[in-house]
Amino acid sequence: MKQCIDLGDPQNTDELYSQRQQVDKLIKGIKNTQAAVESAKLICLDKHWIDFHQAVKYLSGQIAWIFPKSYKASTNNNNKS
């Protein structure tokens, strides 16, 4: 999930996003109309607004729980590689 968003150039500290900006960008980058996903995004923003790594961890778990078949299929494909 972290690789899906641009967090700035690590070589240029002036371009790096703050933890809050990273979480905002992560939340805004998830496009879905399911109520459960929207709820997870709001809870994530409320509880993990200042910690990007915890936000990613929380959302990854929630998305896997909301879409278990997709998660299982993706982990099975990764194990075959």
CA–CA distance, 48 with 57 (Å, rounded to integer): 10
Q: 23-38: per-residue pLDDT in tens?
A: 998 999 999 889 999 9
Task: Write down the pLDDT at residue 51.
Answer: 93
Q: Are 44 and 23 in contact (CB under 8 A)?
A: yes
Q: 61-70: per-residue pLDDT in tens?
A: 999 999 988 7
Task: Write down the pLDDT at residue 76.
Answer: 73
Higher pLDDT, 65 or 6: 65
**How many other C-beta atoms lie within 10 A of the C-beta of residue 21?**
13
> How many residues comprise the chain?
81
**Which residue has tokens 């278990």?**
68
Percent of the chain with pLDDT over 70: 70
Q: Are 72 and 63 in contact (CB under 8 A)?
A: no
Q: What is the pTM (predicted TM-score) of this model?
A: 0.71
